[in-house]
Structure 1
Amino acid sequence: AGAFVVQVASSCPLATNGSVLAFEFTLVFNKNPLVCYDPDSQRFTPCDWGLLHGVATSVATMLNKDMAWLERAQSRHRACQQLATSFWATTGLRRTPPQVRIIPSKTGPTASPVLLTCYVWGFYPSEVTVIWLHNGVVVEPEDHSYMSTIPNGDWTYQIQVTMLVTPRAGDTFTCSVQHASLEQPLLVNWSPGLSSGLVLKVAMATVVMVLGLGFFILGAYHYCIRPPAAGYTPLPGDTYPAGN
């Protein structure tokens, strides 16, 4: 023998502006709607028109005679109307600012172009504008590719925009994000690192500078501690011993 499950399900579908579109209060038998509540007539009606239609009609008649069930459905309907505004204000009308990060990926040898990916995530609502800038100049949209905005599953969204570049020393690439939660665009910069040759030159210059500074300090120290020359006549207030 199989198992039988009866459930009570209620829902309030909302429009994009937060208004209540409908109210549903249903008795479900083995995942199939059996009896539905009509908020206009405030009565239960059968909503199974198959083999269980007769059973659904009998159950609906029984529920319409039970004031506890009628009051239960009406209470759910009132709660739907009352809670929809506050629920929508904390969900559909909220503003969550995005987080932004630029990740570079090499496409080959050192001299090859670099694929820059601007990751934007954790924002709500879903409308967002992402722009690339090169040294402060807006990059045309045809020079980079978009990924469609996708939901994260927690009422936030994410998007990524990629651009293939051949950076030079001194270049700055900026990912600019505009969103309803931001008073001004959110800017994140990326610049290429020093080349290996330039890194070696900087390291050598640093070593030479440190050695030079060390020799200077050592020479100054020996100069200060040396005894005065023979025949030296100290000036008034001088602490050096008198010469011979």
Structure 2
Amino acid sequence: MLLLLGLLLGARGAGAFMMHVASSCPLAANGSLQSFDLTVAFNKNPLVCYDPDAQRFNACDWKLLHNLAEQVAIELNNGSTWVKRAEARRRACSKLAAQFWAQTALRRTQPQVRIIPAQTGNPSVPICLTCHVWGFYPPEVTVIWMHNGDVVGPGDHSPMSAIPNGNWTYQTQVTLSVAPKAGDIYTCSVQHASLEEPLLEDWSPGLTLEVTLMVAVATVVMLLGLSLLLVGVYYWRAQPPAPGYTPLPGHNSPSAVPACPHPRP
């Protein structure tokens, strides 16, 4: 029937055309099926629409092709084939909606977290800590900063709202400007529906990059020197004894020592 419709439109000088059938199943916020839509479209414009309550097709083009749309609707309603197809799609929507909702909206994906420090150039608060949280779903997440186990007040950090990653997960970040001292521990605590307990990530002040490089170079030099020392000792012990005086057999034996002659009177 759609082939005949295409030939009819082509015969009327419609030129290039595209016919397609599209159906959709809008879902409510709780995952329930709100409605069912099935449309026969011409060049992406709705031509005939299916009414699931009345179980019949109606013309939904009120412009140039309205008369043709009414004729198509009559043809679709006269036979039971297209009505059966529409009802089969509606039953499939009702059956698959719960599975789709469970695999998408109801799923739980645990977040990942990482703390990245950066220099601020401000002597009073020289370090800016950024807690990056990503890869979580649903988007509702709570991120809290703690200093040595104590929660940092809301005025000391600025949380950002979660933004989508484009793969059904979300990300967010929370920054905190600090003046760390030796022994301080800053903790980023992440609370999410996918976690049984908060996810904790710690950061403590360490050596600067320059000092770290100096320590690394000194360590390498020390290990190299120790290796050379061990190799030298090994080769020194492996050498044969130097040539020297070799005593005759029995020379060191007490019995081989000649007795002193008795003095003559």
Q: In structure 2, what is the Cα distance between the partners aligned to 1:140 and 1:5?
A: 61
Q: Deviation per CA, 1:100-151, whole angstroms, max 9, x where unpaired?
A: 1111122238986222111111111111111011111111112111221111
Residue 164 of structure 2 corresponds to which residue in structure 1? 151
Structure 2 vs 1, CA of residues 59 and 110 (structure 1 numbering), >3 Å: closer, same or farther?
Answer: same
* Aligned position for 2:41: 28
Give the corresponding residue for 2:148.
Answer: 135
Q: Distance in 1 between matches of 2:163 and 2:215?
A: 46
Percent of aligned pairs sharing the same letter: 63
- Greater Rg by CA: 2
How high is the TM-score relative to the length of structure 2?
0.72
SS of the residue 2:33 aligns to = coil
- Count the aligned residue pairs: 217
Equivalent in the alignment of 2:58: 45
Q: Which residue of 1 aligns with 2:187?
A: 174
1:93 corresponds to which letter in structure 2? Answer: L
Find the partner of 1:185 among 181, 198, 203. 198
Distance 1:28 1:115 in 2: 56
Alignment of 1:35-114 (within 5 A): 35-108=48-121, 113-114=126-127
Name structure 1 gaps, 5 residues minimum.
219-243
Moved over 4 A (4+): 109-112, 195-204
Within 2, Cα distance between the matches of 1:169 and 1:139?
18
Q: In the aligned structure 1, how far is the partner of 2:212 from the partner of 2:68?
A: 85
Following the alignment from structure 1 to structure 2, what is the Cα–Cα distance between the partners of residues 49 and 198? Answer: 75
User: Aligned in 2, Cα 1:167/1:49: closer, same or farther, shift over 3 Å?
Assistant: same
- Encode CA deviations 1:34-79: one digit per residue, 9 max, x unaligned: 1111111110111122222222111111111232211111100000
Structure-2 separation of matches of 1:117 and 1:22: 45
> Which shifted more, 95-104 or 161-170?
161-170
Is contact 1:150-1:157 (8 Å) kept? yes
Q: TM (normalized to structure 1)?
A: 0.78
Say which SS state the counterpart of residue 115 (structure 2) adopts.
strand
Equivalent residue of 2:84, what SS? helix
Which of 173, 176, 179 aligns to 1:163? It is: 176
Q: What is the RMSD of the two structures over their aligned residues, measured on CA atoms?
A: 3.1
Change (3 A) 1:167 1:131: same
Task: Assess, with a 3 A threshold, how the Cα gap between structure 1 residues 111 and 56 changes in structure 2: closer, same or farther.
Answer: same
Distance verdict in 2 for CA 1:144–1:112, change over 3 Å: closer
Residue aligned with 1:60, SS: helix
SS of alignment partner, residue 74 of structure 1? helix
Distance 1:177 1:70, change over 3 A: same
Task: State the one-letter code of the partner of 1:12.
Answer: C
CA contact (8 A) 1:106 1:112 kept: no
- Gaps spanning 5+ residues in structure 2: where? 1-13, 234-253, 255-265
The AA in structure 2 aligned to 1:144 is H
